[in-house]
Amino acid sequence: MEREDLLHKIEEIGFRLQNAAFRDSVQREKGEYNYRYYCIPNNNRDLAGTDFCYEDQNEFIHFTSLDNLYHMLQSCSLRLYNLVNMDDKLELEYALHDLSFHQTDKWIKDKENIFCLSMCSYPEINDDETAEHLLWKIHGRNGAGVYVRLQVENNSRNWEQYHLSKVYYHTTNVQAIKELHETIDNIELDPKVCCFFKNSIYSFEHEIRLLFDARTEHTVTVSITKDDKQLYPILIDDKLIDKENVKYVELPLANLNTTLLSFFGIQGSRKEICLPRISITEIVLGYRYSQEEVLRIQEKIKSFIDVPVTLSRLKKYY
């Protein structure tokens, strides 16, 4: 493929030229780059029409433990963990290797400063008991956890630093990246797009990711304060997990965090158009719970939030 065709393909994937250098003014006038760096834009609107802007529907489920659910309700927020804490040890690295980013140690800081919430499409899983059963087994504490049903209430095209995308279990749709690496010198690509790829052994998960990019060299973080107190973003070191450099960022839940709700609620305001507005609409308990446990858990959850708390439909098999 010709050089200009490759660069056009890169733009179709979603990359935009961020930095460029020329040897002299003559080269600049001719458009002959000495160096250039392409990045995935922070403005989610710029990814519309690419494979990395999910707009099929707005209802999702997130599997977790009961303890993590209580932490979520107490903090009135969702936790997005950095890629250091993912179950897949080859997070980011799978696609980096496959697309000829051979020096993967260069992107260790990217793994520490890109944050992720793993979800699935609610309609898709609701139509497939087998897939739901596998997800309960692996991510729902073998039926002794919960899943949270979430609804995105604002337009994802207006988000900044947040991206919502399917996870792809092959790299065929971004092979132009590999060809570019192999044919053009003095060019670099932001590896963020690699966060949306995993090995095919995980394809049963049908994962959809909410990604937050906190790399300060790539982004200008929108900050919200009130009375000199930082309300957003809040990046926290998780000292309870036995891994180094594990952090999470708290994204306020729109139907729980009344302090920040006013920032989200003003139509057209800077804060409203930058942040995802996500609410919990239902909590589903795993099939391992007894009826007595269900009643106790329902009572506790009701002290935090008024949403339906139901038992998994898979209970009929257990």
* Predicted model pTM: 0.89
- What's the pLDDT at 293? 97
Contact 81, 257 (CB under 8 A): no
Q: 251 - beta bridge partners?
A: 78
- What's the pLDDT at 187? 82
In angstroms, what CA-CA distances link 126 with 61, 122, 222? 10, 6, 35
- What's the pLDDT at 266? 44
Q: Pick from 235, 236, 234: which is nearest to 260 by CA?
A: 234
- What's the pLDDT at 261? 54
Helix (H) or strand (E) holding 188, with range, is: strand 187-189
pLDDT per residue, tens digit, the chain (318 aa), is 677 788 889 999 999 988 878 777 777 777 777 788 889 988 889 999 999 999 999 999 999 999 999 999 999 999 999 988 777 777 888 898 888 887 777 777 888 889 999 999 999 999 999 999 999 999 999 999 999 999 999 889 888 889 999 999 999 999 999 888 788 777 888 889 999 999 999 998 999 999 999 886 655 566 677 777 776 777 888 876 767 788 899 998 988 876 665 555 444 455 555 788 899 999 999 999 999 999 999 999 999 999 999 999 999 999
Which alpha helices (DSSP H) does the chain contain, by range? 3-13, 25-30, 66-75, 93-98, 108-113, 122-126, 129-139, 175-183, 258-265, 270-274, 291-302
Separation of alpha carbons 264 and 269, rounded Å: 8
- Chain Cα centroid distance, residue 111: 12
Contact 113, 248 (CB under 8 A): no
